[in-house]
Amino acid sequence: MSNINILTKIIKDKIMWIDIHKKKISIEYIKQNIQKTQFNFYKILKCTKKIFILECKKASPTKGIICKNFDIINLVNIYQKYSTAISIITDEKYFQGNFNYIKVVRNIVSQPIICKDFIISSYQIYFARLHGADAILLILSIINDEQYNILSNIAHKLNMGILTEVNNIQEFKRAINLQAKIISINNRNLNNFTVNINTTKNILSIYKNYIPKNTIIISASGINNHMQINQLNKIVNGFLIGSAITSQNNILLSIKKIIFGNNKVCGLRTIEDAMISDKYGSVFGGLIFTKQSIRYIKSIYAKHIIYNIPNLLYIGVFCNNSIADILRITKLIPLYGLQLHGNEDQNFINHLKKKISSKIKIWKTYKINNFIPKNNFFNIDLFVYDYYISGQGKSFNWNLLKNINTNNILLAGGLNIHNYSIAKNINCYGLDFNSGVETQPGIKDHIKIKKLFQKIRNN
């Protein structure tokens, strides 16, 4: 579909949709068969340190089908573990949404549900409530202030919350003047559906000081990685994320990467270690196959862990192991990647790469003391920067990373709940936790892991 005047077409068809449905289900019938929602939408969001509204999105007018195997039940069963609220797109013609999705989701989750549609009539609000919605989206680019006041009053009489969407400075000013309690800055231009993540930054750089104290600011559209969360986290209260999740084959993995980052818990030795790491947000699980390490795990036990906890991406850590030894383990265990933690040179790496499956990633560790060594390696998918004496709970001087592109670096060495917030601001690819989440060397502390990832999510 052409990007030109998409919004005009949507609104024209929405008027027709309203007329058709009014004849099918009268507004009088709806009013007699609905009750106020029991959710206090504003209070729930206000009491959440970092808001994540996860969206059920199947398609869009510009991209077509986003989620090929759209399964609303499977989707929200995952969403409910990580979301503050769940947004459901109900427009049928352009987004392949459905109001019945709200009913289905209401029977599964305990979070409030937002009906996301192009609402221009009071009928749509009553219709949304009939299906179980607890909040609605009002888009300022398609309604004037008088319409907004009428529609918001109807929603509030039903105890429904309102997400007020803006896309530019003028609309943001209107939202403030309309005393909107939750303002969602859409980084997507609804006229042509292009996305610019800087929309949120640009608007708030001008009007941040004019926002009433209790107003909640949400950044929506274009949020597809944890680095963006870190960058916007200082100026907004939360995020609305949809297609960045539903467009991926692995929904759980995409959620964890965006909300928590590409983090790894290394030195896993039990099923419980892996289960807790997976449950609270880790993407990678490190299994150390070097016998000299106190965290060494036998391949048979590692295989047992992977079989029982399959959601983690498992990284085999090797320090000066022979290629034959590495190949033996890769044939026995389905590893996502190999982390070379010793003195492996380029010849070793090249030879190894020829022998392993093309699907297996190769990571290389740099052990750092007083300077960052020159990177001469190739055929490497990711670099791990660690303290020069590994497993000691110590960090190298992170100031050494200034003026260095850290996008392809996993930061390791002495990371824990007390210093991770400093580490994440370096904007590395991810963080590697090991001794900082242990009770003693080699023994993982499950409470520390839980608290660490809860803090990552909420701060």
pLDDT at residue number 1: 47
Least confident of 296-300, 389-393, 404-408: 389-393
CB hemisphere CA count around 378 (13 angstroms): 0
CATH number of the structural domain 262-453: 3.20.20.70
pLDDT tens per residue across span 362-378: 999 999 998 998 888 99
Mean pLDDT of 348-365: 97
The per-residue pLDDT for 4 is 52
Residues 42-96: tens digit of each pLDDT: 999 999 999 999 999 999 998 999 999 999 999 999 999 999 999 999 999 999 9
User: pLDDT for 149-164, tens place per residue?
Assistant: 999 999 999 999 999 9
Average pLDDT score over residue span 208-231:
94
Determine the pLDDT at residue 207. Answer: 87
Q: What is the mean pLDDT of the chain?
A: 96
Across the range 435-443, mean pLDDT stands at 95
Give the start-to-end residue ranges of the domains of the chain.
6-256, 262-453
Residue 2 above 60 pLDDT?
Answer: no
What is the mean predicted confidence (pLDDT) over 209-236? 95
Q: How confident is the model at residue 393 (pLDDT cuts 50, 70, 90)?
A: confident
Q: Taking Cα atoms as reference points, which of 434, 430, 399 lies closest to residue 414?
A: 434
Work out the average pLDDT over 191-214.
Answer: 90
193: pLDDT strictly greater than 90: no
Q: What is the pLDDT of residues 230-264, one digit of tens each?
A: 999 999 999 999 999 999 999 999 999 999 999 99
User: What would the pLDDT profile of 106-151 be if each residue is shown by its tens digit?
Assistant: 999 999 999 999 999 999 999 999 999 999 999 999 999 999 999 9
- Kindly indicate whether the domain formed by 6-256 is annotated with CATH number 3.60.130.10: no
| Average of per-residue pLDDT across 376-381 | 94
